Structure 1
Amino acid sequence: MAGRNSQELGKRPIGRLLIQQAVPASVGILVMSLNILVDTIFVGNWIGAIAIAAINVVLPISFFIAALGMAIGIGGSSIISRALGGGEKQKALSTFGNQILMTIILSIGLVIPGLIFMDDLIPAFGGKGAIFEPAKIYYTIVLYGVPFLALCMMGNNVVRAEGKPKFAMTAMIIPSVGNLILDYLLINVLDMGMEGAAWATSVSYFLCFAYVFWFFLSKNSELKISSIPFRINIPLIKEISSLGTVTHSRQAVVSVTYLLMNNILFDLGGEESVAVYAIIGRMLMFALFPVLGITQGFLPIAGFNYGANQYARVRKSINTAIFYSCLMGLLIFFGIMLFADEIVGIFTKNQSVVEQTPAAMRWVFAATPIIAIQLIGAAYFQAIGKAVPAFFLTLSRQGFIFIPLILILPNFFGEIGVWISFPIADVLSTIITAYFLNREIVKTLK
């Protein structure tokens, strides 16, 4: 049964297959996003707006380390999907073994200096003034759980590469639900404040790790841990790294973006402007869940069929994924434009933050209907193992366009210059991606 599941990626109708893969991925991302969203609401209402800003300062640092697991997971999963498509199960097992070793060594290797230099890192990412102390409390505890999160992110992508989207979905739901329950108990009932929020997060990471570890021990997996050769394979590590670098570079740029945004906004409007960005950041994670879910569901389909030389199915998967994603993006756009004021009121009662956030949020989501083209296009090159175009297109939006814009436009337009940078970057990066994706389809997928 397990073996037949991965082979279905090359047989079932693309539309039905994409729904089968994307719906569990979307639900998992939705639950994870709801967890972050509700966590922010709890913190904002039970601790205060400064606590929201503090968590926003810590997230890019902890996620940068944890994203190593995601990078290794996505890089290795591209190899695994193509290996399973080509009938090379031993290569898939060897790839997974190297992914585990890389994730453990690299995540722990970054957590240790992260704890040693925390007093320098937190202010650098915007943890200044009243934000510093709560950010330090949260950061210290959360970093202990980051290696478990890295292993979860890596393992979750491998689960999806096997064609097991429902198990991947469950892996995202368990820590999300656990975190919300622990948030309520530790923050509201036991009144532990930022420490409670941090421990709830770290324990939830461990719960996710425990589930993923169980999956690879069980009969549900084709890549059982008991069958894995834990031997370092340099060519595989190089291939995993070249493809994974795309994902980790993106997270590195995200972390740099948070660093710049928090500092720019702190200089323009103080702690409250940082809180505005924190709320918008949570909405970006939450509202885009169906688009991100379709992108996640698209990856194993494209990779498997490309490995099996079924190029017509690859073309159809690209077109179907873009169509459904753009449709979802359009619905998200109208939802934000119509209900931005009501959404912001849920997070905090701070009047200044409530007044500033809706207009900024509308600017940030202004180009949502077209971002699917950029996401699917970049994901396609990663799925088929073409690291250079995947790297370029993945970084085109935030690295090459958005960061220069937020460094330049606020000098002319003030804080509004920060917010209009979002749709400008979305439009330009989408045009670039559409060009390269179309060229690749015409050239390769005949």
Structure 2
Amino acid sequence: MSKVSSVELGTKPIGKLLVKQAVPASIGILVMSLNILVDTIFVGNWIGSTAIAAINVVLPVSFFIAALGMSIGIGGSSIISRALGANNEVKALKVFGNQITLTVLLTVVMVIFGLVYANDIIPAFGGQGAIFEPAKTYYKIVLYGVPVLALGMMGNTVIRAEGKPKFAMYAMMIPSVANLILDYVFIIVLDYGMAGAAWATTGSYLFLFLFIIWFFLSKHSELKLDLSHLGLNRRIVSEISSLGFVTLARQAVVSVTYLFMNNILFDLGGETSVTAYAIVGRMLMFALFPVFGVTQGFLPIAGYNYGAQNYDRVKETIYTAIKYAAGLATLVFILLMVFPESITRLFTSDPEVLKQTPSAMRWVFAATPIIALQLIGAAYFQAVGKATPALLLTLTRQGFFFIPLILILPHFYGEIGVWVSFPIADVLSTIVTGYFLRREIKKNLLPPITENNS
């Protein structure tokens, strides 16, 4: 029964298959994003607008450590998808075992480092002035749960690689619902303030981890591990690392972006500007959930069919994913251009934040309709195991364009220079990705040579 699910990736019509993969992924991302959104609303309304800025300071650090698990998960899952497509279950099992061992080792080391140097890391990421103390409270508690989150995120990508999108969706929904309930208990009922928000988040990570363990021990998973699979294999670790480094590099650049943004905005407008960016950042996570869902749904389909050398299906998957994602991105764009003021009021009643945020939101999302090409293009190279172009295209937007722009434009245009950097980076990175994806399709996605067509 479980075998049929992964085989379907190479046989079902692409449109229906992409919907089947993308809808659960979108719902999972939606619930997870809603969780972050409502968490911010809880904090902003019951603790204060400075608390929103404090969480925004902590997120890049905790997300980077958790991204170790996601990067190991996505890198390994690309290998697993292609191994299942080639009927090599032995390799799939060994890769999964190595993913678990790597995730545990790396995240525990990073958490220890993060706790030891907490007083240096928090100010570096913009935790200055009134933001420092609440940020430190939140940071230390959340960091305890990050290894569990990393294992959960890693396991979730493997579930998707097996062709089980509904269970991957459940894995994202469970901690989100748990966090909302725990937020209410710890923040409102028990009045624990920032510590309550942090314990709610950490508790939700544990629920995710428990679900992941249940899935792989149940009959639903076709990957049944034993202790021999956990021993590290140099070749497999190298392959996981080369592909996973794409995701890790992306998150590293995101963390560096937060570092620059929080410090630049603090210098230009103080806590108010950092809070405005925190609200816009939440909308970047939330509003684009259907586009990210299509991207997540695209990965196992492209990887499986590439492994099976079914290149016509790979090309069809690329075109269909771009079409679906672009349509959804356009709808998001329209909503955010029309209702930025109403959205901002959900988070805070601070008049200064209400004045600044809507304009910033419009600039940040100005190029949203075209980002589908950039996301799907970069995801394609990762799905098929081409680590170098995947890495370069993933870094294009924020690493090669956005960070230089936010370091240059504010000197000439002040705070508006920060916000206009977003659409400029989107346009430039989309052009670059479109060029390389088109070249890849024309050169390499040709039918394999056989005796009949040679």
TM-score in same-fold range (> 0.5)? yes
1:401 maps to 2:411:
no
Letter in 1 for 2:110: L
Matches for 1:6-155 after TM superposition, within 5 Å: 6-155=6-155
Distance in 1 (alpha carbons) for counterparts of 2:271 and 2:226: 51
Letter in 1 for 2:73: G
In structure 2, the residue matched to 1:294 is 294
Letter in 1 for 2:304: F
In structure 2, the residue matched to 1:269 is 269
Letter in 2 for 1:310: N
In the TM superposition, residue 225 of structure 1 has moved relative to its aligned partner by 3.1
In structure 1, the residue matched to 2:216 is 216
Distance in 2 (alpha carbons) for counterparts of 1:319 and 1:218: 36
In structure 1, the residue matched to 2:418 is 418
Letter in 1 for 2:107: S
The DSSP-based 3-state class of the residue aligned with 1:42 is helix
In the TM superposition, residue 224 of structure 1 has moved relative to its aligned partner by 2.0
The DSSP-based 3-state class of the residue aligned with 2:155 is helix
Distance in 2 (alpha carbons) for counterparts of 1:159 and 1:348: 38
In structure 1, the residue matched to 2:3 is 3
Q: Structure 1 unaligned segments of length 5 or more: list them.
A: none
1:336 maps to 2:344:
no
In structure 2, the residue matched to 1:230 is 230
Letter in 2 for 1:103: T
Distance in 2 (alpha carbons) for counterparts of 1:122 and 1:232: 34
The DSSP-based 3-state class of the residue aligned with 1:223 is coil
Cα shift readout 1:82-122 (whole Å, capped 9, x = no counterpart): 00000000000000000000000000010001000000000
Is the Cα contact below 8 Å between 1:217 and 1:226 reproduced in 2? no
Distance in 1 (alpha carbons) for counterparts of 2:290 and 2:345: 24
Distance in 1 (alpha carbons) for counterparts of 2:195 and 2:228: 38
Cα shift readout 1:129-161 (whole Å, capped 9, x = no counterpart): 000000000000000000000001100000000
Is the Cα contact below 8 Å between 1:96 and 1:228 reproduced in 2? no
The DSSP-based 3-state class of the residue aligned with 1:221 is coil
In structure 1, the residue matched to 2:383 is 383
Is the Cα contact below 8 Å between 1:364 and 1:420 reproduced in 2? yes
Letter in 1 for 2:374: Q
In the TM superposition, residue 229 of structure 1 has moved relative to its aligned partner by 1.7
Distance in 2 (alpha carbons) for counterparts of 1:298 and 1:360: 31
In structure 1, the residue matched to 2:176 is 176
Letter in 2 for 1:215: F
Summarize the Cα distance change of 1:362–1:228 in structure 2 as closer, same or farther, 3 Å threshold: farther
Summarize the Cα distance change of 1:42–1:228 in structure 2 as closer, same or farther, 3 Å threshold: farther
Summarize the Cα distance change of 1:228–1:345 in structure 2 as closer, same or farther, 3 Å threshold: farther
In the TM superposition, residue 231 of structure 1 has moved relative to its aligned partner by 1.7
Letter in 1 for 2:322: I
Distance in 2 (alpha carbons) for counterparts of 1:239 and 1:229: 16
Cα shift readout 1:183-204 (whole Å, capped 9, x = no counterpart): 0010001100000000000010
In the TM superposition, residue 230 of structure 1 has moved relative to its aligned partner by 1.7
Structure 1 residue ranges (4+ consecutive) displaced by more than 4 angstroms after TM superposition: none
RMSD, aligned α-carbons: 0.6
TM-score (norm 2): 0.98
Letter in 2 for 1:371: I
In the TM superposition, residue 55 of structure 1 has moved relative to its aligned partner by 0.2
Cα shift readout 1:216-246 (whole Å, capped 9, x = no counterpart): 0011001123486222110000000000000
In structure 1, the residue matched to 2:201 is 201
Cα shift readout 1:33-84 (whole Å, capped 9, x = no counterpart): 0000000000000000000000000000000000000000000000000000
In structure 2, the residue matched to 1:254 is 254
Letter in 2 for 1:233: N
Is the Cα contact below 8 Å between 1:218 and 1:224 reproduced in 2? no
Give percent identity, aligned residues only. 70
The DSSP-based 3-state class of the residue aligned with 2:229 is coil
Distance in 2 (alpha carbons) for counterparts of 1:66 and 1:343: 28
In the TM superposition, residue 27 of structure 1 has moved relative to its aligned partner by 0.2
In structure 2, the residue matched to 1:240 is 240
The DSSP-based 3-state class of the residue aligned with 2:285 is helix
The DSSP-based 3-state class of the residue aligned with 1:225 is coil
Distance in 2 (alpha carbons) for counterparts of 1:101 and 1:197: 30
Distance in 2 (alpha carbons) for counterparts of 1:197 and 1:310: 48
Is the Cα contact below 8 Å between 1:93 and 1:227 reproduced in 2? no
In structure 2, the residue matched to 1:278 is 278
Cα shift readout 1:195-214 (whole Å, capped 9, x = no counterpart): 00000000100100000011
Distance in 2 (alpha carbons) for counterparts of 1:160 and 1:22: 10
Distance in 1 (alpha carbons) for counterparts of 2:53 and 2:247: 25
Distance in 2 (alpha carbons) for counterparts of 1:293 and 1:304: 18
Larger mean Cα displacement after TM superposition, 195-204 or 220-229: 220-229
Cα shift readout 1:264-296 (whole Å, capped 9, x = no counterpart): 000000001000000000000000000000000
Cα shift readout 1:377-416 (whole Å, capped 9, x = no counterpart): 0000000000000000000000000000000000000000
Aligned length: 446
Letter in 2 for 1:435: Y
Distance in 1 (alpha carbons) for counterparts of 2:42 and 2:294: 29
The DSSP-based 3-state class of the residue aligned with 2:163 is coil
Distance in 2 (alpha carbons) for counterparts of 1:127 and 1:444: 48
The DSSP-based 3-state class of the residue aligned with 2:309 is coil
Cα shift readout 1:158-181 (whole Å, capped 9, x = no counterpart): 000000000000000000000000
Q: Structure 2 unaligned segments of length 5 or more: list them.
A: 447-454
Distance in 2 (alpha carbons) for counterparts of 1:230 and 1:247: 22
Letter in 1 for 2:130: A
In structure 2, the residue matched to 1:432 is 432
TM-score (norm 1): 0.99
Distance in 2 (alpha carbons) for counterparts of 1:407 and 1:226: 50
